Amino acid sequence: MKQVHIMDHPLIQHKLSIIRDKTTGVKEFREVINEIAMLLCYEATRDFPLKEVEIETPVAFTKTKVISGKKVAIVPILRAGLGMVDGILNLVPAAKVGHIGLYRDPETLQPVEYYCKFPNDISERDVIVLDPMLATGGSASAAIQFIKNYGVKNIKLMCIIASPEGIAKMQADHPDVEIFCAAKDERLNDHGYIVPGLGDAGDRIFGTK
Ligand code: PRP
Ligand code: URA
């Protein structure tokens, strides 16, 4: 089973406190979500392969390393995953971006798909799926199954807050997917919200409530 990385770096913990706070406004919430995504990306790309190239500095010729290997696609789960895209593209600007639209039915908590658009060559890419909240795990699991159906072999999931239930579901459904998150919270409440969590991530990013 692939590892679950819970990144408790002080910068991440500090930024998490900002987005958990219910008095934080939309502008700051959006900025900090992207900053955390960027910090998570640093760890999620640690295994990127390198190749040696020769370059000339102002002083001498030297051998140095650049990223090689498979190309990357990031796939935000709409809507809230969109809030993490710019943070990742700051560090991996050549990544292509696919989109998958899922919303959670408020009664059944089951994910309902409403949109999908992937790069044509997605099956040849490594994919990082983005969603700030891993609650029941239904949305992430369904999105990842969808991406696997396109023939993608190497998938990582990046979220900001995960519940124990969501991690367990991911490990049961997709043990081959490595998870990177900023915090593992206590539990879900009766409405499927993460406790203490940060509330509804989509509404807080887009100001819809
Ligand atoms: C939220 C969140 C996840 C999902 C997590 O999306 O962004 O996609 O819920 O819950 P789960 O793990 O129980 O599936 P939501 O359905 O609220 O849609 P939105 O992003 O459009 O607001
Ligand atoms: N979706 C959210 O946005 N927040 C939660 O706590 C659970 C699901």
If you average pLDDT over residues 113-139, what whole number do you get? 96
Residue for token digits 């051998």?
63
> Is the CB of residue 159 less than 8 Å from the CB of residue 170?
no
Q: State yes or no: cis peptide before 196, omega within 30 of 0.
A: yes
> Is the CB of residue 98 less than 8 Å from the CB of residue 75?
yes
Q: Which of 33, 139, 188, 208 to mutate to test the pocket of ligand 1 (most atoms within 8 A of CB)?
A: 139
For 178-197, the pLDDT digits (tens) are 999 999 999 999 999 999 99
Model confidence at 103, in pLDDT bands (50, 70, 90)?
confident
Q: Coil, strand, or helix at residue 18? A: helix
The packing angle between helices 164-173 and 138-148, to 10°, is 20
Which atom number of ligand 1 is nearest to the Cα of residue 81? 7
Sheet (strand 183-184) strand order: 133-134, 161-162, 183-184
Model confidence at 30, in pLDDT bands (50, 70, 90)?
very high
For 56-76, the pLDDT digits (tens) are 999 999 999 999 977 999 999
User: What is the CA(193)–ligand 1 centre distance, in A?
Assistant: 10
Report pTM.
0.96
DSSP-derived pairing of the beta strands 71-78 and 133-134: unpaired
Residue whose Cα lies nearest atom 2 of ligand 2: it is 200
User: What is the CA(80)–ligand 2 centre distance, in A?
Assistant: 9
- Length of the chain in terms of residues written: 209
User: What's the CA gap between 91 and 60, in Å, rounded?
Assistant: 28
Pocket of ligand 2 (CB under 6 A): 80, 133, 135, 192-194, 197, 200-202
If you average pLDDT over residues 5-9, what whole number do you get? 95
